[in-house]
Structure 1
Amino acid sequence: MKRGFLAALLLSGASFALACSDTTSTAGAAGLSGTYDVVLSNQLVFVTSQDRDELRVLDLSRTPREFIPAPNPLEPLAIPVIARPDSLTRDVGYDAKGADVSGPYIYARNSGGRSISVVASDRTRLNEVTRLATGQLITAFAAHAPVADGAPSVLYYALQTRPEAAEQLCGPFGGGVVMRQELPGPEGFDAAALPPALPVFCLKAADTVLSMITLPARADATDSLVLAIRNVSGTSRLVRVVADQQSVEIPYKRPRPAPFAVPDYTDLVDIPARLVVTHPSFIPEGGSEANPVPAGRYVYVVLDELTCVSSDCEGIIALDNGPDPLVPSAAPVLARDVTGAAMLTLRPSAGLPTGLTLRSGLEVRELLANSVAYLTAIPLLGIMPSSSGEITLFRADELRAFNLDRTVTTDPVTNVEKIVSLDSSVTVELRDGNEVARSDQFQAITVVEPGCPQVEATNATAFLCNGTVPNGTYRFVYQGLLPGLLNLTRDLTVTDPPLLIETELAVSRGVVPGDSLVLSNNGGNCPQPVRILRLEDQGNGFTRLFADTTDATTAAALEACATYPYFSVRAGPLVKPYVLYSGLETSDTFVQRLDINEPYTVSSFLDYYYHPNGFDLGLSPPKSPTTYVPAPLKLTLTATFADATRLNPGDRYVVTLLPRFRRFVFGVDTSSTSNLAAYTLPGTVVATDVDGSSLAYIAYPSADGVLQVALESISDNALNLQYLRAFQ
């Protein structure tokens, strides 16, 4: 199923035109053709070469790094496997401390295939030791390493339909099944002596397993699997299975998706998932070796956007298995981030996730807001490529995104430098009609956010306390010109009543009695405004505007400027005198008119995509699933001008929302001069430490290549060419 998702994103003429192009950035040549998956084992990166029915092996211990050569050193080693391999997995193992270790095998299959190649992953072997024929369509697989000396590797695979061997457990009819196959070590391997595969979990009719993982296996505990299941009815779910032939299904749940907030934990729904991964043990910041986070505590899930169409289903969430991952709770729910709040969905800045890996102890380069760069070891790093071509790094240990919008300050008492986050903020500036800042900055905008004290910004910054807000600029224009009613032509032949004007935009733009007509000619505006007395709907989409001839300034304008051929409409001083724009002052960005003290809510709910340190909703810890109820996340801006007579028509308050949030996202320079033009669609990813360097290896189906990324040198929020090496 993995290949199908990537292929749907890949099939474009441009991708095919570039698929076979070479680059001078290529650091290793292996003749890859069909690079759909990579897997890491024993510091070897195994790569599919689908069109050649083989695997190639990139050796990370060599200097310079290169593909392992064949016995004929002029050619790279090729491991023949099942036809058209596009999915790989490996024996996942953990040592006594929960660190990731490699098992003896990796496994290869293909979409729509019925066989699995078992490949010895030790660098002294690197051969297919057997080929398992299942007789049924395989949709997913996972494996764990031996749990003790002499114990077998254990492979699990999901079949779309039930073989005869599963009928006793599951019945002769219905859906597919998950099978368990034990595999002894490669030393003296005897395929004829393999024990039979056994069914361990029966699927419902029309269910398909999209992805599966094994939670950390122990000799004293029954294996546990996590399955991402999609049904043809258009639903998906994530379940945990105890692999003991009892078909025990434990659902993972989360609160029903709501816009940017979780109402409570009583309304739990199935989790739509299409990819699942877990992690090795790690020590969180401020923690100790005596109390690490155990391997497998969190299951990270790429949400299934095909069966859940809201924006809340585009990205990654994590589920908490508890302090002992092999002792399942009744209904594991959404994990909590480092602040104690319910985890926010980790979304790529664009596109959909195409891969995911979690790795402990890697270093990344962070460039802070004051241009200070430093290297930091991340207890658990998440790497998420996406279909947009971007790669996102996130703090998997903290269950939240990176925020690079931070700075270095010096503690005045200890004289020690420390890194601090910058608060989200609102800046407010009073400008005249020519966009020049007025020297008398007075009585600005009131900013209200639930849970925060009300702040009146007088030429100052109003800080928000509950998170980050989207970028945005709002303009409160006092007696502003109404959009769409600018420099329109009027009929000069109408003299009775004087200055009668017809327009089709008056009602839609909110013209009210008391507003002003501004007459103009090619030389400029009439110095006197014309007060509008009343409006009259003509019933044909047009509105007539009648001038107030009893008003002295109107009478003066009628006498001095009666022949001016153009007119505009300006908001009057009494009824809704403020014209609000979101962005520049154009028809497209016009929001509404506002009265004095009338609030404007920026959005019904703010898209809070990062919980900063100190995030709090006013509840005393601990924030448990039964007591944690977020406040409605709203931001209200109110024009509270006590003395509007000090403002001139056209003066405006420019309100700027500063989220003070910068993700760790980077891309590849695919310009025609970069020699990486084909590296447009990243897929699966692995990462590891190689001789002190933190390196990620990303499969690029669009390029028939693998890209090496030096995480400690890459530049965030930029297209990179340096510190990348292509292997094709």
Structure 2
Amino acid sequence: MPGDLPVKRGTLALLLVSAGLTGSCSSTDVTTGFAGLSGTFDVTLANNFVFVTSSDRDELRVLDLASNPRTFVPAPNPLEALSIPVLDRPDALTRDVAYNAEGNDVPGPYIYARSSGSSEVSVVASARDQLRQVARLQAASIVTAFAARSPAEGSGGPSTLYYAIQDPDGIFSADTGGARVMRQELPGPDALQAAEPAAIPEPVTVFCLQPGESILAMTMLAGQGQFAVATRQASGRSGRTLLVTDLGPVADCLQPSAPTHDLSEGFGNVPVRLLVSHPRIVIPNVEAINAGRYIFGIRDEASCSAARECSGVLAVDTESSPPGQTARDLSGAPMLPIFPAGGLPTGLALVPDAPLRIVLDDGSTPPLTVPLLGVMPSSNGYISLFSASDLRQFDLSGASARSSVALLDSNEQPVVIETADLVTVTQDQTLQSTVLYEGSVPNGFYRIIYQGALPGLSGLPRDLSTPRLFEAEASAAASARAGDIIVLEGPDVLCAVDLPIASVEPVAGTTRVRFAIADSQEIPTDCASLTRFTVRVGGDQPFVLFNEAGTFLSRDVTGASSYSIPTEYFFHADTFYFDDDSNPQTPPVPNLSKFPQPPPPLRIRVAAVGREVRRGDRYAVTVISGIRNYIFTPDSTAGTGLAFYTLPGPVVAAQDRSAKMAYIAYPSADGILQVGFEGLTDNRAQSLALVPFE
């Protein structure tokens, strides 16, 4: 039965088996540092330094990861932190990126800074003895995105900066086409600093965009001269994601260039606003994944008013056939979008061979190294970690999807009666058995109240001059029907005699309905003076269903009736797809016998009324997905020093397979937050594993 399938965690389980190869470390090193940051909009990491914008002061500051305690690089006056003056209002950074023959990250000599709406790019030397701006480039138009390639390992060659600009043509100048990608060769820092500005080679155009199109994001890839770009049309509603190969200069942009591959379909034809790739991924007992095979992108919510279908993180596979299809996760199925725990993604980093503390269901904390860890902050303050090597969220729970039912009285106190089995929670459409399909069952809490009051029909006024007249607005009474119950009430008293509703009738010429009671129904003398009434469900549907927030869902949940909750797969178990022909050239196929597609809705039903159930008693139904993702948030309570760390921005981590930390820019705090992977606990507010630098 699908509900009884063991939870699959892919490489998580595999890596735990070999956990003895991984040593346990402290959650973080001793750190200190204050630099007076102001305007921390972006971060990048190169040569064991974290570079951060201090935009309000037109500068960069540098956190030294090799120092102990960890601190900002000092200025010549050691009482102050080093300031690197750059262009005005820097708000975006990038660094030289390349991969060697083994697929490992090759650092370069430069990091780069730009500012929204500016046509300048600052070039900053990133070596320990050269931390300064060595050039400021002036582009022909506004720079909208950039990425850079390191010199080939040991070559001593130039760095290559690619930057995207808007249409550079002036009103009265000749038309050379629209937006484009420029290539700028940059010699090493010593040569660059010694050379006259005129000695820097002129930039050349290498790729031309369609009319009305501009580039929002870029990332370097492992292939020679290859990079990816995410474009946007002026409307903001459409755009392309392209794999581009630098084939040399083009004379002008009167005709758009043809990309090497259009990757848009792999992202669901949704525009992308951030692109990230990765070094070689090494997974024990599994064939390694080549550097740059996957291109991860944050889809742009603005393209469809933040609807779910155009949000989240997806990856495309540059080695699929044809290239650019949605990457397949560990199950063999096209990966599902990875959504944050609320809010919108504000950054994305991929960390190779990241040591991560996990807590299993039994409380044990075995050491774990994740081949490629995804780190995704979001605008609601939460930070999500996911298995980028598995191309899906973590599932840290060993339990399957399940439900539990408790009978409570009107005061929410337990009632000890054997009636819990009367409630069914299942995806079996016949309602004959309990079936829950892993990865499709949403967490939820529901109350099913016996003879509960209908929403909008509580404490309604009653005219004592017409004692048998009971009316309400038709919109509020839409769920009322014959067989329901009128209960007369006063400030502190309820009538002991119910008045069954014989019919619900529209009142001619009004927007109201009348609850008629039988002519033979007498109103008790001691209830005649009560001035209000409430309509409660009765008859053959005597239960009312509410969700955890108290929102009315349904009153038809008894007997043959049930309430349906739409479902969709949000996690793929390992056996979601399977190999049906043992041919490695053909993709796996859906395992429909275990995981029907789409999944059937979740149905909640009360089979019958328990003999001893009283008015106001309720079944408390808890539905648990069985999937536990890895999320956390900074603990902003007093005394943690993290009160202003509420709105995270971009995130970076070292790419040399030694990273134990990630660094997140926090514009809300004018600071950087260091996240120690080995000190975290999932689904809790964190402080001990987090260190701020401001």
TM-score, normalisation: structure 2: 0.82
With over 3 angstroms needed to count, the CA separation of the structure-2 counterparts of 1:161 and 1:543, relative to structure 1, is closer
- Which residue of the partner structure matches residue 20 of structure 1? none
Asked if 1:428 is matched to 2:405, the reply is: yes
- Give runs of aligned pairs for residues 592-671 of structure 1, distance below 5 A: 592-594=555-557, 596-603=559-566, 606=567, 608-615=569-576, 624=587, 631-639=597-605, 641=607, 652-671=618-637
Counterpart secondary structure, 1:83:
coil
- Which residue of the partner structure matches residue 219 of structure 2? 213
CA contact (8 A) 1:160 1:175 kept: yes
Deviations 1:268-293 (A, max 9, x none): 95231111011111123x534xx211
Asked if 1:287 is matched to 2:248, the reply is: no
Task: Supply the distance in 2 between the matched residues of 1:691 and 1:617 (Cα, whole angstroms).
Answer: 32
Shift of 1:355: 1.5
Shift of 1:624: 4.4
- Which residue of the partner structure matches residue 648 of structure 2? 682
With over 3 angstroms needed to count, the CA separation of the structure-2 counterparts of 1:721 and 1:433, relative to structure 1, is closer
- Which residue of the partner structure matches residue 546 of structure 2? 581
CA contact (8 A) 1:425 1:463 kept: no
- Which residue of the partner structure matches residue 389 of structure 1? 381
Shift of 1:560: 7.7
- Give runs of aligned pairs for residues 701-720 of structure 1, distance below 5 A: 701-720=667-686
Counterpart secondary structure, 2:309:
helix
Task: Supply the distance in 1 between the matched residues of 2:34 and 2:611 (Cα, whole angstroms).
Answer: 75
Which AA in structure 2 matches 1:240?
L
Shift of 1:689: 8.3
CA contact (8 A) 1:432 1:438 kept: no
Which AA in structure 1 matches 2:114?
R
Shift of 1:39: 1.4
- Which residue of the partner structure matches residue 248 of structure 1? 258
CA contact (8 A) 2:427 2:603 kept: no
Counterpart secondary structure, 2:367:
strand
CA contact (8 A) 1:155 1:181 kept: yes
- Which residue of the partner structure matches residue 548 of structure 1? 518
CA contact (8 A) 1:160 1:177 kept: yes
Shift of 1:525: 4.7
Shift of 1:379: 0.8
- Which residue of the partner structure matches residue 277 of structure 1? 276
* Structure 1 stretch displaced more, 375-384 or 102-111: 102-111
CA contact (8 A) 1:577 1:596 kept: no
Shift of 1:175: 1.4
CA contact (8 A) 1:510 1:593 kept: no
- Out of 286, 290, 309, which is 1:312 matched to? 309
- Which residue of the partner structure matches residue 687 of structure 2? 721
CA contact (8 A) 1:468 1:661 kept: no
CA contact (8 A) 1:693 1:710 kept: no
Shift of 1:500: 4.2
Task: Supply the distance in 2 between the matched residues of 1:690 and 1:173 (Cα, whole angstroms).
Answer: 42
With over 3 angstroms needed to count, the CA separation of the structure-2 counterparts of 1:36 and 1:634, relative to structure 1, is same
Which AA in structure 2 matches 1:384?
M
Task: Supply the distance in 2 between the matched residues of 1:591 and 1:620 (Cα, whole angstroms).
Answer: 46
Task: Supply the distance in 1 between the matched residues of 2:452 and 2:427 (Cα, whole angstroms).
Answer: 27
Shift of 1:549: 4.1
Task: Supply the distance in 1 between the matched residues of 2:635 and 2:377 (Cα, whole angstroms).
Answer: 15
Shift of 1:714: 2.8
Which AA in structure 2 matches 1:296?
G
With over 3 angstroms needed to count, the CA separation of the structure-2 counterparts of 1:83 and 1:699, relative to structure 1, is same
Which AA in structure 2 matches 1:305?
E
* Structure 1 stretch displaced more, 626-635 or 119-128: 626-635
Task: Supply the distance in 1 between the matched residues of 2:33 and 2:420 (Cα, whole angstroms).
Answer: 65
- Out of 153, 156, 164, which is 1:158 matched to? 164
TM-score, normalisation: structure 1: 0.79
Counterpart secondary structure, 2:32:
strand
Asked if 1:439 is matched to 2:445, the reply is: no
Counterpart secondary structure, 2:680:
coil
Deviations 1:306-364 (A, max 9, x none): 222212223211111126xxxxx545122222222232222222322222111111112
- Out of 214, 221, 228, which is 2:230 matched to? 228
Shift of 1:597: 0.6
* Structure 1 stretch displaced more, 532-541 or 301-310: 532-541
Task: Supply the distance in 2 between the matched residues of 1:112 and 1:601 (Cα, whole angstroms).
Answer: 50
With over 3 angstroms needed to count, the CA separation of the structure-2 counterparts of 1:58 and 1:516, relative to structure 1, is closer
- Which residue of the partner structure matches residue 184 of structure 1? 187
Shift of 1:507: 6.8
Task: Supply the distance in 1 between the matched residues of 2:272 and 2:87 (Cα, whole angstroms).
Answer: 28
- Which residue of the partner structure matches residue 261 of structure 1? none
Task: Supply the distance in 2 between the matched residues of 1:340 and 1:89 (Cα, whole angstroms).
Answer: 33
Shift of 1:299: 0.8
Which AA in structure 1 matches 2:507?
Q
- The root-mean-square deviation of aligned C-alpha atoms, in Å, is 3.5
CA contact (8 A) 2:214 2:232 kept: yes
Task: Supply the distance in 1 between the matched residues of 2:430 and 2:395 (Cα, whole angstroms).
Answer: 25
With over 3 angstroms needed to count, the CA separation of the structure-2 counterparts of 1:634 and 1:33, relative to structure 1, is same
Task: Supply the distance in 2 between the matched residues of 1:93 and 1:438 (Cα, whole angstroms).
Answer: 66
- Which residue of the partner structure matches residue 321 of structure 1? 318
With over 3 angstroms needed to count, the CA separation of the structure-2 counterparts of 1:331 and 1:688, relative to structure 1, is closer
Deviations 1:137-174 (A, max 9, x none): 2111111112352443221111112479xx9xxx9343
- Give runs of aligned pairs for residues 40-51 of structure 1, distance below 5 A: 40-51=45-56
Task: Supply the distance in 2 between the matched residues of 1:706 and 1:350 (Cα, whole angstroms).
Answer: 22
- Which residue of the partner structure matches residue 455 of structure 2? 483
Asked if 1:297 is matched to 2:258, the reply is: no
With over 3 angstroms needed to count, the CA separation of the structure-2 counterparts of 1:248 and 1:627, relative to structure 1, is farther
CA contact (8 A) 2:42 2:52 kept: yes
Task: Supply the distance in 2 between the matched residues of 1:619 and 1:598 (Cα, whole angstroms).
Answer: 39
Which AA in structure 2 matches 1:597?
A
Shift of 1:393: 1.6
Task: Supply the distance in 2 between the matched residues of 1:441 and 1:40 (Cα, whole angstroms).
Answer: 60
- Give runs of aligned pairs for residues 381-420 of structure 1, distance below 5 A: 381-404=373-396, 406=397
Task: Supply the distance in 2 between the matched residues of 1:642 and 1:423 (Cα, whole angstroms).
Answer: 27
Task: Supply the distance in 2 between the matched residues of 1:83 and 1:543 (Cα, whole angstroms).
Answer: 67
Query: What is the aligned residue count?
Result: 642
CA contact (8 A) 2:355 2:677 kept: yes
Which AA in structure 1 matches 2:202?
P
CA contact (8 A) 2:457 2:476 kept: no
- Give unpaired runs (5+ residues) of structure 1: 1-24, 256-267, 324-328, 407-420, 457-461
Asked if 1:471 is matched to 2:468, the reply is: no
With over 3 angstroms needed to count, the CA separation of the structure-2 counterparts of 1:352 and 1:613, relative to structure 1, is same
Task: Supply the distance in 2 between the matched residues of 1:77 and 1:565 (Cα, whole angstroms).
Answer: 76
Task: Supply the distance in 2 between the matched residues of 1:704 and 1:563 (Cα, whole angstroms).
Answer: 65
Deviations 1:536-583 (A, max 9, x none): 322223333333245xxx45x657855655543333334x33322223
Which AA in structure 2 matches 1:518?
V
- Which residue of the partner structure matches residue 97 of structure 1? 102
Counterpart secondary structure, 2:368:
strand
CA contact (8 A) 2:579 2:587 kept: no
Task: Supply the distance in 2 between the matched residues of 1:657 and 1:176 (Cα, whole angstroms).
Answer: 52
With over 3 angstroms needed to count, the CA separation of the structure-2 counterparts of 1:491 and 1:331, relative to structure 1, is same
With over 3 angstroms needed to count, the CA separation of the structure-2 counterparts of 1:123 and 1:77, relative to structure 1, is same
- Which residue of the partner structure matches residue 9 of structure 2? none
Task: Supply the distance in 2 between the matched residues of 1:314 and 1:281 (Cα, whole angstroms).
Answer: 27
Task: Supply the distance in 2 between the matched residues of 1:313 and 1:198 (Cα, whole angstroms).
Answer: 35
Which AA in structure 2 matches 1:313?
C
Shift of 1:647: 5.8
Which AA in structure 2 matches 1:308?
C
CA contact (8 A) 2:312 2:338 kept: yes
- Out of 196, 199, 216, which is 2:205 matched to? 199
CA contact (8 A) 1:365 1:712 kept: yes
Task: Supply the distance in 2 between the matched residues of 1:522 and 1:67 (Cα, whole angstroms).
Answer: 67
Counterpart secondary structure, 2:109:
strand
- Give runs of aligned pairs for residues 500-579 of structure 1, distance below 5 A: 500-504=469-473, 508-519=477-488, 525-539=494-508, 540-550=510-520, 554=521, 566-574=532-540, 576-579=541-544
